[in-house]
Structure 1
Amino acid sequence: MNLTFLGTSSGAPTRQRNVSALAIQPEQGRDWVLVDCGEATQHQLLRTGLSPLKLRAILITHVHGDHCYGLPGLLASCQLNGRTEPLTLVGPQAVWAYLQAVIKHTEMRIEYPLEFVAVTASLQMSRGGFHVRAAPLSHRVECWGYRLEEAHVPVKLDTARLQSEGIPPSPLYGELLKKEQVQLAGGRVLNSRDYRVPAYPARAVVVGGDNDRPELLAGLCRGANALVHEATYTEAVLQKVGPEPQHSSALKVAEFAREAGVPALILTHFSPRYRKASRKPSDLSIEDVRREAAAGYAGQLYLAEDLETYTISREGRVDLRAP
């Protein structure tokens, strides 16, 4: 399972960071799902191996421009590149209204089936190799977080059960994986479904939109391997800015991830005020964000950079993939 960050800045792009977009791809196949689509997302895609024609769903967290201004361009390019397969767009109703206005006033043409699904707390759908659920968040506009859980987990035989029932290893084991029923020499019939189990637990990642209450993601985070969440500010800057923007600090997210028992935390959506390389002592650094998060969270901690890909192994470990 791969997570490729196409943009990690909040509000506006910087020389090193584009605005929000995250591509999520299952282990097998070329299908993928996009969470948010900030301006120039399609330009970022040109620097990856992801094909827009294999995109199965776009999940938009909220209507703010740094999360959806890239949507019309990406959809238009899919049309120009000859897309014919359906594409699902999930998000608040305001996102659909925005897109319809762009289509109307720019004479944009989309001939492939484009399905819009208004996100609700009862959302349950499967696209691109994932089961998708959602939860409402706390921001200045309607905003949502999404959980993407692996939909197709290989099965293996419960060999311990077979042997406990006096059925030793034999070619019959292979038949149980291929057939629905297998008859033993003595006439007993085994139903294969009774002896098939997942080869490993389904992997899951939770992606939060802009949100000043990380605890609202507690339900989605149960059993998840990783949480991707905005850390727009450090706590000191958040206190100066005040509550009106309704964003989270690195400390607030880290403390939630620790309390929720999430094994891995990937922070993103950093304010442009945090520089990758400080020019003078008074500059704010992205390392300030890292230190604050590390003080509140002892699990696997990452601060995402544009075009980085993180893998979630079958054992559930999150690692940064080598370039």
Structure 2
Amino acid sequence: MNITFLGTSSGAPTRQRNVSATAIHPETGRGWVLVDCGEATQHQLQRTRLSPLKLKAILITHIHGDHCYGLPGLLASCQLNGRTEPLVLVGPASVWAYLQAVIKHTELRIEYPLEFVEVSSQLALELDECGVTATRLSHRVECWAYRLDERQVPTGLDTERLQREGVPPSPVYGRLQKGERVTLDDGRELNGEDYAVPAYAARSLVVGGDNDRPDLLAGACEGVHALVHEATYTEPVLQKVGPEPQHSSALRVAQFAQSQSIPALILTHFSPRYRKVPRRSGDASLEDLRSEALSQYQGDLFLAEDFDTFCIGRDGRVQRLEP
């Protein structure tokens, strides 16, 4: 399971960062899922190997423009490029109302099947690649996080059970692996399906929208391999800004991830004030966010950059892939 960041800035784009969009795509196959679609997301996609024609679903966390202004353009380009496959759009009702207004006033034509699913805490979307559920967050408008659980886990053979039952390694293992029925020399009959086990634990992650209460994700994060969450500010800046924007600091997200023993934390949605390379001494830096998070969190910590791809391996570990 791979995660590619198409935009990691909060509110407005910068020269190095576009606004929010995150792609979830499998190790094999070309189908993928998009979480949020900020302005110019389709431009960002042109710098990746992800094809809009293979996009299976778009999950919008909330109606704020830095998370959905790119939606009409992406859908229009899919139409212009000859898309015929159905596309699922999940989000608050306000997202569908916004899209319908754009369609009406710009004469946008979408002829491929576009299914809108209004998000709720009862969401149970089953895609070929993953299952999707949702958790309500705390923000100025209705906002959600999405949990994605891998569905297509290949099966392996329970060799430990076979050896416990006195069946040593032999060509029989290969036949059982194929699901065949086998009669042993001692007369026992074995059904390969009875010895099929997942080759590895299904991978899962949570991608959150804007949220000033990470603790709301406690249930959704149970057993996940990674959490993707906004860290718009450092805690001192958040205290100066005040509670009205309803965003999180790196400190608060890291404290939550540590309390839940989440193995990997990927921070994103950084205020434009935080620069990768500060212009002057004392300017706000992304390292301020990193240092604050590391003071609270002992797992694998990453600060996402545009076009970063992270892989959740079959062993459950998260790694940043080389470009």
TM-score, length of structure 2 as denominator length? 0.97
- 1:110-129 matches, within 5 Å, as 110-129=110-129
Deviations 1:121-173 (A, max 9, x none): 11112225111111110001111001111111111111111121122222222
Give yes or no for contact 1:57–1:128 (8 Å, CA) kept in 2. Answer: no
Tell me, which stretches of 5 or more residues in structure 2 are unaligned?
none
Deviates more, 1:59-68 or 1:175-184: 175-184
Distance in 1 (CA, whole Å) between partners of 2:13 and 2:38 is 10
Give yes or no for contact 1:55–1:128 (8 Å, CA) kept in 2. Answer: no
Deviation of 1:277 after TM superposition, in Å, equals: 1.4
Deviates more, 1:122-131 or 1:32-41: 122-131
SS of 2:176's equivalent? helix
1:32 is matched with 32
1:212 is matched with 212
1:303 is matched with 303
Deviation of 1:186 after TM superposition, in Å, equals: 5.1
2:244 is matched with 244
SS of 2:272's equivalent? coil
SS of 1:274's equivalent? coil
SS of 1:256's equivalent? helix
Give yes or no for contact 2:128–2:152 (8 Å, CA) kept in 1. Answer: no
Distance in 1 (CA, whole Å) between partners of 2:247 and 2:176 is 52
Deviation of 1:184 after TM superposition, in Å, equals: 3.7
Q: Does 1:289 align with 2:281?
A: no
- 1:1-323 matches, within 5 Å, as 1-179=1-179, 181-185=181-185, 187-323=187-323
Backbone CA RMSD of aligned residues: 1.2
Distance in 2 (CA, whole Å) between partners of 1:212 and 1:183 is 61
Structure 2 counterpart of 1:4, which letter? T
Count of matched residue positions in the alignment of Structure 1 and Structure 2 = 323
Distance in 1 (CA, whole Å) between partners of 2:121 and 2:171 is 47
Deviations 1:81-125 (A, max 9, x none): 111011111111111111111111111011111111111111112
Structure 2 counterpart of 1:65, which letter? G
Structure 2 counterpart of 1:303, which letter? L
Tell me, which stretches of 5 or more residues in structure 1 are unaligned?
none
Percent identity of the aligned residues?
Answer: 72
Distance in 1 (CA, whole Å) between partners of 2:100 and 2:192 is 50
Deviation of 1:185 after TM superposition, in Å, equals: 4.6
Give yes or no for contact 2:9–2:268 (8 Å, CA) kept in 1. Answer: yes
Structure 1 counterpart of 2:147, which letter? R
Distance in 2 (CA, whole Å) between partners of 1:236 and 1:172 is 64
Give yes or no for contact 1:33–1:128 (8 Å, CA) kept in 2. Answer: no
SS of 2:5's equivalent? strand
Deviation of 1:187 after TM superposition, in Å, equals: 4.8
Structure 1 counterpart of 2:66, which letter? D
Deviations 1:168-227 (A, max 9, x none): 222222222223544445554323332111111111111010000001111111111110
Distance in 2 (CA, whole Å) between partners of 1:61 and 1:116 is 14
Distance in 1 (CA, whole Å) between partners of 2:74 and 2:264 is 30
Structure 2 counterpart of 1:109, which letter? R
Give yes or no for contact 2:233–2:250 (8 Å, CA) kept in 1. Answer: yes
Deviates more, 1:77-86 or 1:181-190: 181-190
Structure 1 counterpart of 2:263, which letter? P
SS of 2:160's equivalent? helix
Distance in 2 (CA, whole Å) between partners of 1:301 and 1:166 is 45
Distance in 2 (CA, whole Å) between partners of 1:217 and 1:80 is 39
Structure 2 counterpart of 1:262, which letter? I
Structure 2 counterpart of 1:140, which letter? R
